[in-house]
Structure 1
């Protein structure tokens, strides 16, 4: 992995684990666009599924990527700067395409600074709450027969402290959620939920628009 702290971006191979990214960023004061959890498929799987747990526009945090199309062509899209709009923007269509447009090989993430962070959990009542400030990541997990609500947030110390007070949960540790999905992570009723989907072991992909099918055929 290549960390460019001054320019606030990270180049990661698709096979890199999510917690390995956190390890690479330790001490930098920079954070990636995903919570401290391990998920199937590492960085590549995360991007193909369109992120996890975020309360913001995830594709905007992917500055560039290299991927292999279903026909075996290797495509480089985007770059390492925010304003990179030369030619067709294939980054945003690829993010969240669930493999329809190909397989990620390398990803360039925008990093965000934070002087403090908090990873918290509390019992989940079945509905995602409105919190102020809004945490950057929010998800629910079934553990030991009970549902738990998790939040992860970073930023200024005072903002993080306000979230801790509003949430009133207990401290959580980084999670390895891969054992929940031995057959792969997809959409369906399962032990993990965020604001977009419920995630199931061996679950499928959402039905893509016809324009995505035509784009996949063109690639």
Structure 2
């Protein structure tokens, strides 16, 4: 793992645990584009699934990556700055491709500043609410027979305080959700939901459009 705090980016190998990144950023005032949860596959799994729980465009937070295509080619796409695209941009198609374009080897994440952060939970009533300020991350988790709504937000101290007052609930700590998915994490009705999908143990991937499948076949 390489942290470049002054330039607000981080380079991580695909097998790096998500909570290890949160720990590495503790006290820096910088935050990664995922909440303090551990998920199957670490960084590589997160990028393959297109992020988790975000309330923003996750692919824009991946500045670059190195991946191995299904044919065995190693491709380096993007870089370490925002305006880094020369020729075809393969970063955004790769993010959320569920492995169709290959396997991530190394990922460059953009980091965002925030002087304060809060991770909260409250009972989930079956639908994701509209909140103001909107938390950067929102998801629902079934624990026993009850569903809980989790929200994580970071930013200026005043904004985070307003979020906490609007959301209410109780403090939550980092979560390791890997035991919920011993056969892997895929799309389907299961014990976890975010703003894009319900997530299921051993679930599959969304069906890819024909043009996307042609791109995969060409790599």
TM bucket, shorter chain: over 0.9
The aligned residue for residue 132 of structure 1 is: 132
Deviations 1:92-136 (A, max 9, x none): 000000000000000000000000000000000000000000000
Distance in 2 between residues matched to 1:82 and 1:26, nearest whole Å? 24
Cα offset, 1:85, TM superposition: 1.5
Gaps of at least 5 residues in structure 1 are none
The aligned residue for residue 50 of structure 1 is: 50
Q: Does 1:19 align with 2:19?
A: yes
**Matched residue of 2:133: which SS?**
coil
Cα offset, 1:51, TM superposition: 0.1
Q: Does 1:70 align with 2:80?
A: no
The aligned residue for residue 211 of structure 1 is: 211
Distance in 2 between residues matched to 1:168 and 1:213, nearest whole Å? 44
TM-score (norm 1): 1.00
Distance in 1 between residues matched to 2:29 and 2:196, nearest whole Å? 28
C-alpha RMSD of the superposition: 0.4
The aligned residue for residue 79 of structure 2 is: 79
**Matched residue of 2:186: which SS?**
strand
Gaps of at least 5 residues in structure 2 are none
Cα offset, 1:88, TM superposition: 0.4
Distance in 2 between residues matched to 1:107 and 1:134, nearest whole Å? 27
The aligned residue for residue 7 of structure 1 is: 7
The aligned residue for residue 174 of structure 1 is: 174
Distance in 2 between residues matched to 1:141 and 1:62, nearest whole Å? 26
Within-5 A mapping of 1:117-196: 117-196=117-196
Cα offset, 1:81, TM superposition: 0.2
The aligned residue for residue 101 of structure 1 is: 101
Distance in 2 between residues matched to 1:198 and 1:120, nearest whole Å? 20
Cα offset, 1:24, TM superposition: 1.1
Distance in 2 between residues matched to 1:105 and 1:23, nearest whole Å? 21
Distance in 2 between residues matched to 1:180 and 1:86, nearest whole Å? 40
Distance in 1 between residues matched to 2:148 and 2:26, nearest whole Å? 27
The aligned residue for residue 61 of structure 2 is: 61
Cα offset, 1:147, TM superposition: 0.2
Distance in 1 between residues matched to 2:72 and 2:161, nearest whole Å? 48
**Matched residue of 2:23: which SS?**
helix
Deviations 1:63-107 (A, max 9, x none): 000000000000000000001111100000000000000000000
